[in-house]
Amino acid sequence: MSTAAPAVRAPRAARLWTYQRERFPLAAYLPLIGISAVCAATYSAAASGRPGLPPLPVLAVTTLTAIGFFFLLRVADEHKDAEVDVRSRPELPVPRGLVTLGELRGVGAVVALAAVAANALVVPRMLWLLAPAAAWAALMAREFFVPEWLRERPLAYLLSHMVVMPLLFAYLTAADWLASGAAPPRSLGLFLAVAFLNGLLVEIGRKLRAPADERPGVETYTQTWGIRAATSAWLCVLALALALACLAARPTGAGTVVAIGLAFAAALIAWPAAAFLRAPATSRAKMIETAAGVWTLASYLLLGLAPTVARG
């Protein structure tokens, strides 16, 4: 009588690599997060009248810290959503057993320690600005100790979680002003507001679904608010992000050029949402999610690099 041999589990490194490909694709996130981090610092410099790059070691540390920070947010989400994923999304890496939450915590701890060590080594005072973002992320991981209240109020959940974006971008801009011992630019508040709105745009965009793609137990804004209200909210956030980005561009010395570029980008990016309102198909919902990422990248590039290029 023969018995089946037990399944051989892939090495941990291979499993974690598969996890990143599915849940934190570095090929997509490295350029997006990296460019956003660099542009936050160059925006601060341009808005302060000294366009150019901050010291490269500082820029490298803040950029890598940002990438690690977003990875830690992903790990926190895996823990928050563990029960829902088991019930409604068993194909995801954690519920199907590809990796365990313990393994993700281990990688997350290494990433967090590396980020703290790098900041402490290169520019220790940056840790003071990283601390508020880290503290807010920790509160997010605990759902601010009112998980049920937040789950019943999707708008409060969305707004409270997106506060982490301006907190992180305050740290990223400090690669210019704090590292050089200068004061932050007066328009910093506008730039951080743009970061908040860009976060909203991405978060809403990734939770818009065509009716055929809605799944029981998986919360989406189209399911909660309805297709018209959710898509209209996305378009309103885009319009507000455009307006504030144009205002933030004024002190950089390239306000007109940046405003024209932003308006052109917003017009192109709004098209998938308008098309989705007319006919809510799966492909158009995915286009909105992609458009949110494209807008985020375009807005930071225009705000951060266009002034430097314009001034030669």
- Name, in order, each residue with C-beta under 8 angstroms of 224's C-beta and a sequence gap of 6 or more: 154, 230
Looking at residue 177, the DSSP 8-state letter turns out to be T
Per-residue model confidence (pLDDT) at position 22:
95
Measured distance between the N- and C-terminal CA atoms of the chain, rounded to whole angstroms:
79
Rounded distance, CA 133 to CA 121, Å?
19
| 176's tokens | 């210019």
Per-residue model confidence (pLDDT) at position 108:
97
Mark the ranges of the chain whose per-residue pLDDT is less than 50: 1-7
94 phi, psi to nearest 5 deg:
-70, -55
Residue 256: C-alpha distances to residues 39, 195, 238, 250, 306 (Å):
18, 20, 19, 8, 11
pLDDT in tens, 84-97: 899 989 999 999 99
**Average pLDDT score over the chain:** 93
| pTM, two decimal places | 0.93
**Are the C-beta atoms of residues 304 and 43 closer than 8 Å to each other?**
yes
Per-residue model confidence (pLDDT) at position 246:
97
Rounded distance, CA 99 to CA 13, Å?
10
Q: Which of 139, 191, 193 is nearest to 161 (CA)?
A: 139
**Are the C-beta atoms of residues 29 and 158 closer than 8 Å to each other?**
no
Helix (H, G, I), strand (E, B) or coil at 257: helix
Per-residue model confidence (pLDDT) at position 168:
98
Q: Considering only the C-alpha atoms of the chain, give the largest distance between any 2 of them, rounded to a whole number of Å.
A: 81
Per-residue model confidence (pLDDT) at position 7:
45
